[in-house]
Structure 1
């Protein structure tokens, strides 16, 4: 039975975190399982990152019909590894997933680590601190979900037991909750790659980090577009051109509307921002957005001279997301990111 280190990811940022973890812990014989989604841009960005690290084996699980069908395929590979290989380190990207929560407690390994998934890592850490590391608090529970999980656990041949120790591997300054450890990295692997590349600093340009706020229901798309027009006008008055770095999940109709805004130009991102600027040979000297983990991560990698977050007026945020949005802004403020309030009257 061979020893492996197992990495399970499903987003580009989780993938970057996996690369950093493999480098940080000097892991060998690294097996990567990528659970792809139904989103083409998400999958393309992940697959483009394969070239940045030499994995021993890569298992790509394509999205099939539904999350449950895809989870069954993931369970097949996890059970196969459980039978035939010994796991030294297990690295998990999506802790909010029912299947990953189940297999954390059913795989045999020496140590388990949670990988970063953007600003949601800090939010997840805060939720777990407030709930004694109860992972079930990360998603809505119901009698129906309980019964479905029970059936799936039986199908997968695993139990619903809980209690294994999980550590953190993160670029964020998160806090331990109990006896687990927190391992902090500063993108040493990516910064090492950047040293061998030539990058150009752009004058009078600010990169505005796009987000899928209206797409997931944080706010109405019309209000999001009004806020972006306000941003474009604000920087135009300072003689600064705005380059809007699109989010991989943004709808094309919305991007077309953004591209029509005066002083705002769309940049379609084919890599995660943490790597995209390096690939393009550009140095992001000015960065802004509403809220995003990239404000923090790009600061660690590129050290731009200007970073700013703009607080979305509370009356524009839907009730469902008010708490999580406030937590995200609170974390950015703790990390020293300058947050400017937006006057709602300016966008009416």
Structure 2
């Protein structure tokens, strides 16, 4: 490959959705080729992204992340991208590992960070406070394998995000309002049901099943008399969630497609969206104008391995954006 390209790096369905939105909004008719580097660990991960691919990519490069690519991605990227390729715009969710190597080796004219859920809130705050977005220094193995992973402090990328990011200079932040994807969702039927979006809360952060049941009871009581669909997070175990949720009136489902695109596939919208902390609720609100209710989980309910400061910052941000914010009255967050 040679010439000038815009390179979009995606690893998750949400990243691919945001890459597609950036491509359609900024680079549909530009002179550069639009190239998608689609990274994945397992074939199942690739299968989740495949339905979201369209024919507007000039090239799609699959790259499996395994033990070989972990050590030898400089060679793999050189073979796939070519040393003569010029990257005009680089879109990525972070600047670590192979993403940092691409940034350092091909030196794109512009670098833009996209959302991968609400992690962008923490990442952008750290970058704007002067922290390195990647490794701060190269290790011996990096020099041996020619991996250029170190990213200097003071790097100031652009951001394409649905979040406000008030700590970022306005000139470097473009609000992602999903205008291109929204056009595809106009006129959908709206049904009188609540879509409750699951997360990896249990058992990663809430180990005690009885405590998780107590949290679900708050949701069930709030929506007494209404149908509630519990949409499993991709890492949630249905056999673990169903015995806890179904006796409380939840209908537990797993969608085959990324949640943000599921209304387009199903042809209908829920009446309301609710969640403990899933960033998909923000996207659904932005895309389809759906009301969102956040059910807080106070930090003193969390397991010992949870980052409580990060948790508190997340809920402070959610409370500032969503008027329908249900406090955890049993365990208050300071």
The structural deviation recorded for 1:232 is 2.0
What does the per-residue CA deviation read over 1:78-137, in whole Å, with 9 as the maximum and x for residues that have no partner?
333250311111111234x333234323322211111111111112222333x324224x
SS of the aligned residue for 1:104 comes to: helix
Does the 8 A contact of 2:133 with 2:151 survive in 1?
A: no
RMSD: 2.6
Q: Per the alignment, do residues 159 and 315 of structure 1 end up closer, same or farther by CA in structure 2, a change over 3 Å counting? A: closer
Taking structure 1 as reference, are residues 19 and 161 closer, same or farther at Cα in structure 2, changes over 3 Å only? closer
Q: Which residue of the other structure, out of 32, 48, 67, is the alignment partner of 2:51?
A: 48
More deviation in 72-81 or 116-125? 72-81
SS at match of 1:219: coil
| Structure 2 residue corresponding to 1:167, chosen from 153, 158, 162 | 158
Instruction: Map Cα deviations across residues 209-228 of structure 1 (whole Å, 9 max, x no partner).
Output: 1101124x222151223312
Give secondary structure in 1 for the equivalent of 2:105.
Answer: coil
CA distance in 1 between counterparts of 2:111 and 2:255 reads 32
Cα offsets for 1:52-90 (capped at 9, x unmatched): x521111112243x4xx3334543343332503111111
Kindly report which structure 2 residues correspond to 1:246-261, keeping only aligned pairs within 5 A, or say none: 246-258=232-244, 260-261=246-247
> Quick one: structure 1 residues 249 and 161, their matched pair in 2 at CA, closer, same or farther if it must change by over 3 Å?
closer
Other structure's SS at 1:284 match: strand
Alpha carbons of structure 1 residues 153 and 24: separation in structure 2 relative to 1, 3 Å? farther
1:156 matches 2:146: yes
How do residues 20-59 of structure 1 correspond to structure 2 at under 5 angstroms?
A: 20-27=21-28, 28-38=32-42, 40=44, 42-51=45-54, 54-59=56-61
Superposition pairs of residues 1-348 of structure 1, within 5 angstroms: 1-27=2-28, 28-38=32-42, 40=44, 42-51=45-54, 54-64=56-66, 66=67, 69-72=68-71, 74-80=73-79, 81-95=81-95, 97-129=96-128, 131-136=129-134, 149-156=139-146, 158=148, 160=150, 162=152, 164-177=155-168, 181-195=172-186, 198-203=187-192, 205-215=193-203, 217-222=204-209, 223-236=211-224, 239-258=225-244, 260-304=246-290, 306-319=291-304, 320-344=306-330
TM-score where L is the length of structure 2: 0.87
Gaps of 5+ in 2: none
C-alpha contact (below 8 Å) 1:44/1:270 kept by paired residues: no
CA distance in 1, matches of 2:148, 2:142: 9
The change in CA–CA distance for 1:165 and 1:76 in structure 2 (over 3 A counts) is farther
**Matched pairs, number:** 323
